[in-house]
Structure 1
Amino acid sequence: MFLKFISVSLLLSIGVVSEARSQRPDPVITEMLKEVSSARIEADIKKLESFGTRNTLSAQDDPKRGIGAARDWIYEEFRRISEACAGCLTVEKQSFTQPVAQRIPQPTVITNVFATLKGTTDPERFYVVSGHYDSMCTSPTDAECDAPGANDDASGTAAVIEMARVMSKRKFDASIIFMAVAGEEQGLLGARYFATQAAERKMNIEAMFTNDIVGGVTTKKNSPDRNKVRVFAEGVPSNETEQQAATRRSVGGENDSPARQLARYIFETAEMYSPDFGVMMIYRRDRYGRGGDHIPFLENGFAAVRFTEPNEDYDHQHQNVRTVDGKFYGDTSEYVDFDYVARVTRINAASLARLALAPAKPRNVGIVTARLGNDTELKWDASQDADIAGYEIVWRDTTAATWTNSRFIGNVTSYVMKDMSKDNVFFGVRAVDKSGNKSPVVYPRPTR
């Protein structure tokens, strides 16, 4: 069934100022989220753990242990999900040989496994959600040690598989790619290959999520931020040119990259669909000294963010499984909170559903700087979406973290905000369809 039930009628009072987060929850998305199962997530995490190690350098031809066994199980799991929806998923393995590198002592085949749910009306617009299925002990090149990797990152992989199960039962305007990558612990290798290939093919990937360490480690259950998940979003884009950087420095916008707009969209989604479990926006690309699979996407010009639990326990990450002086070390499933993973999965699924149902982001959004004045003129290209209702201008104080106000201005390609100076606030534009679905905000660039 289609998930387009929200009326746009309340938006049609042109010129009415309202809170920016005015879209009401879609009851069909709400129903979809009820199908996310912590028991299924638990079973998938324990299955991935059962392969002993999933180190990228481990055995690829052992049916029970190693990266190859995990790869084949994920592939077959995606195929089973596709069979249940009458072949609605295109399931693929993407393999390449990684040459010798810092954490690759010999040429190694790395395989990404992914399933694509094709969009109905805009299938060439893609949204990617990933987890990495490889794991490691203390040494990233130790292919023999037990590396259960329950939290890092069977949790993220299980979340992606569960999203595929639940979302494949529905139809969306745009396409969604559910992906499990390998080689993350060796330097983001699987994600880098996919992102580079996607850029070379000029794929229209409007957003990418990676879920990495989303297990809600049980030793941190009493943390004050327990009912949140971190969403890391970079400020200045990784692929920004010197000219773009100079423009940004001259007018601001260091806090308005596509990744930041994506994080705000996810934050807004969590407020709508997950009132008891929220998003902690982190204005950083990643944690100190760490990296994730969103980074190659950022470097190739795609908006991307990372989901991670708020308080990590390093005794249960990247550790050889052992007990020392009565203290256990190791990333095993007994330290994973499966209900927490399910909550993170629901925020991912709701955000992906909203994105894939909404129109594409407006293109070539500009703020006119040809003349001085206390009015602000914005313009953009007309949407090609057949279901477009119009556009919404949003704004906030320059010190505000999220968009606070909005005005629906109809199906036009320019608009003048009277008596509102571009020098005093930040503006953005987003597309709205006839069901009220909204795209992420696009921050305007100066234009003549």
Structure 2
Amino acid sequence: MKFTPWALLPSAAAALFIGSVQADVDYVDQQALHDIQAAVSAQRIQQDIEKLVSFGTRHTLSETESDTRGIGAARRWIKAEFERISAECGGCLEVYYQSRVISGEPRIPDPVEVVSVIAVQKGTVDPGRYVIMSGDIDSRVTDIMNYTSDAPGANDNASGVAGTLEAARVLSKYDFAGSIVYAALAGEEQGLFGGKIMAEQAQKDGWRIKAVLNNDMIGNIEGINGVINNTTARIFAEGTRQDETPEDVRRRRFMGGEVDSPSRNVARYIDWMADRYIPNLDTMVIYRLDRFARGGHHRPFNDLGYPGVRIMETNENYNRQHQDIRVEDGIAYGDTIDGVDFDYAAKLTALNAVSLAGMAWAPSPPAQVKIAGAVSPNTTLSWAAPSAEEKDLIKGYRVYWRHTDAPNWEFSRFAGDVTEFTLENVVIDNYFFGVASVSQDGFESPVVYPGAAGAFGE
């Protein structure tokens, strides 16, 4: 199939099309995503954060036998909440512990069972395809090895776990084509162990993970720099994939893709969801794995080649992170609940929920996307036909392109239910290109950049 943009437009309109910074992108507005956004409850998130804080400390090395204090009580309560949510949707969630004994590590010298809580909502069309939302169970104070002092961890990261529970409550009322996973991961502060365990198990089990949305601190609006703002959020996304082969590196050098990893295009997708469905929220896509020289639980998934991003507040307050609870020189230190804005946490939870729903209702991102057009006035993209499971789900495919210095996709054309599409008089050297899958009712997958650099996996 071919499309000639300039031939269909008057000369003045063609000039506007070429030079416009506004996205020439059609999109089907989805009322269900507006409904999901509206269903997220700040009150329920507040109640969950208060409950998690009530356990005193959730340090990975803390108490496991008590029913009221420590990491053991916290994870049992989280599992019970997921099970209650599942009961309300007729058993739609598979809830289980995922664990491994860790020892001999700098922050876990003696044997400790690191236990995460996982809830899986299986897809009805392609259950082997997964999108994941995660938050971290554990908390800490100044001394990373101090597992007895109170470490409320209200924002870091009861907010992320509460958001994950709330997303499960809202999304479990719907059926999706692909599977959604809600994960409360353990051992983050001691070395990202919960994420490592889950990513390795997913790889072993053959999960086709298309996105990991790691939520780590989504409740603070007052920055250490004095800025107070509840209208922005950050999405951290790495550039080049971590599982590149030497041949992949060589091809990327000549064909591009260093700003179009699947993680980056998941971030762009979430950014668009914020613009379309989350009132009064502007997201910043940060071209970095995480904050400067720091890390989070999406990294173990990135390490194995899975797309993963970190969603979090824009304005961090370091007086409330990794601190003993105290007052010095009139400054209050510690991650206590009075530092959490529950409406803001609900806003970021809603962003996760609509993004997960959009990806799970959409078909899988296109596979085997290729591009051709060197020394030609035209650019041709091709991709694999849909799987047998998704054949009836697919309406077609949308081709995207943007100027090479543009952060987001600027132009698009619906190609139809084909596996090849040519953009005539759109020169390959002047743009970046990609392809998204489109469902019968208009839900789109993230955009896939051609070649190994942008591939979401098969």
Q: Is the 8 A contact 1:430 1:442 kept in 2?
A: yes
Q: What is the rounded CA distance, in whole Å, between the counterparts of 1:78 and 1:138 in structure 2? A: 31
Whether 1:401 and 2:401 are equivalent positions in the alignment is: no
Out of 379, 382, 391, the residue aligned to residue 379 of structure 1 is 382
Q: What is the rounded CA distance, in whole Å, between the counterparts of 1:35 and 1:119 in structure 2? A: 21
Out of 142, 149, 164, the residue aligned to residue 168 of structure 2 is 164
Residue 273 of structure 1: aligned partner: 277
Residue 181 of structure 1: aligned partner: 185
Out of 391, 395, 403, the residue aligned to residue 397 of structure 2 is 391
TM-score for both structures, normalised by structure 1: 0.93
What secondary structure, in the 3-state scheme, does the structure 2 residue paired with 1:428 have?
strand
Change beyond 3 A, Cα 1:227–1:321: same
Q: What is the rounded CA distance, in whole Å, between the counterparts of 2:168 and 2:224 in structure 1? A: 29
Q: Is the 8 A contact 2:222 2:316 kept in 1?
A: no
Q: Which amino acid aligns with 2:442?
A: G
Q: Is the 8 A contact 1:14 1:409 kept in 2?
A: no
Change beyond 3 A, Cα 1:150–1:215: same
Q: Is the 8 A contact 2:131 2:209 kept in 1?
A: yes
Whether 1:285 and 2:289 are equivalent positions in the alignment is: yes
Out of 237, 246, 263, the residue aligned to residue 233 of structure 1 is 237
Residue 134 of structure 1: aligned partner: 138
Cα deviations by residue, 1:112-162 (Å, 9 ceiling, x for unpaired):
101111111111111110000100001121111111000100000000000
Q: Is the 8 A contact 2:134 2:214 kept in 1?
A: yes
What secondary structure, in the 3-state scheme, does the structure 1 residue paired with 2:140 have?
coil
Out of 324, 327, 330, the residue aligned to residue 323 of structure 1 is 327
Q: Is the 8 A contact 2:187 2:194 kept in 1?
A: yes
Q: Is the 8 A contact 1:220 1:226 kept in 2?
A: no
Out of 350, 369, 372, the residue aligned to residue 368 of structure 1 is 372
Residue 311 of structure 1: aligned partner: 315
Q: Is the 8 A contact 2:176 2:357 kept in 1?
A: yes
Alignment of 1:116-127 (within 5 A): 116-127=120-131
Residue 433 of structure 2: aligned partner: 427
Q: What is the rounded CA distance, in whole Å, between the counterparts of 1:107 and 1:287 in structure 2? A: 30
Q: Which moved more, 1:232-241 or 1:37-46?
A: 232-241
Residue 51 of structure 2: aligned partner: 47
Q: Is the 8 A contact 1:366 1:446 kept in 2?
A: no
Q: Is the 8 A contact 1:215 1:309 kept in 2?
A: yes
What secondary structure, in the 3-state scheme, does the structure 1 residue paired with 2:429 have?
coil
Q: Which amino acid aligns with 1:23?
A: Y
Q: Which amino acid aligns with 1:187?
A: G
* RMSD between superposed Cα atoms in Å: 1.9
Question: What residue ranges of structure 1 are gaps of 5+ in the alignment?
Answer: 1-12
Q: Which amino acid aligns with 1:405?
A: F
Q: What is the rounded CA distance, in whole Å, between the counterparts of 1:226 and 1:39 in structure 2? A: 17
1:404 deviates by: 0.5
Q: What is the rounded CA distance, in whole Å, between the counterparts of 1:102 and 1:380 in structure 2? A: 46
Whether 1:34 and 2:46 are equivalent positions in the alignment is: no
Alignment of 1:69-218 (within 5 A): 69-218=73-222
Out of 329, 351, 354, the residue aligned to residue 358 of structure 2 is 354
Cα deviations by residue, 1:333-353 (Å, 9 ceiling, x for unpaired):
001000000000011001001
Cα deviations by residue, 1:206-261 (Å, 9 ceiling, x for unpaired):
11100001112446797375311100001111222222112111122211100010
Q: Which amino acid aligns with 2:44?
A: R
Change beyond 3 A, Cα 1:253–1:219: closer
What secondary structure, in the 3-state scheme, does the structure 2 residue paired with 1:180 have?
strand
Q: What is the rounded CA distance, in whole Å, between the counterparts of 1:206 and 1:51 in structure 2? A: 34
The number of equivalent residue pairs is 434
Q: Is the 8 A contact 2:116 2:185 kept in 1?
A: yes
Cα deviations by residue, 1:359-403 (Å, 9 ceiling, x for unpaired):
10110000126x631211111101122221111110000000000
Q: Is the 8 A contact 1:134 1:183 kept in 2?
A: yes
Q: What is the rounded CA distance, in whole Å, between the counterparts of 2:452 and 2:59 in structure 1? A: 48
Q: What is the rounded CA distance, in whole Å, between the counterparts of 1:220 and 1:25 in structure 2? A: 38
Q: Is the 8 A contact 2:221 2:314 kept in 1?
A: no
TM-score for both structures, normalised by structure 2: 0.91
Out of 230, 247, 251, the residue aligned to residue 247 of structure 1 is 251
Cα deviations by residue, 1:156-202 (Å, 9 ceiling, x for unpaired):
00000000111111111111000100100011001111001111222
Question: What residue ranges of structure 2 are gaps of 5+ in the alignment?
Answer: 9-16, 454-458
Q: What is the rounded CA distance, in whole Å, between the counterparts of 2:224 and 2:43 in structure 1? A: 21
Q: Which amino acid aligns with 1:69?
A: A
Q: Is the 8 A contact 1:151 1:215 kept in 2?
A: yes
Q: What is the rounded CA distance, in whole Å, between the counterparts of 2:295 and 2:155 in structure 1? A: 16
1:326 deviates by: 2.8
Whether 1:412 and 2:412 are equivalent positions in the alignment is: no
Change beyond 3 A, Cα 1:377–1:121: same
Change beyond 3 A, Cα 1:221–1:368: same
Change beyond 3 A, Cα 1:440–1:446: closer
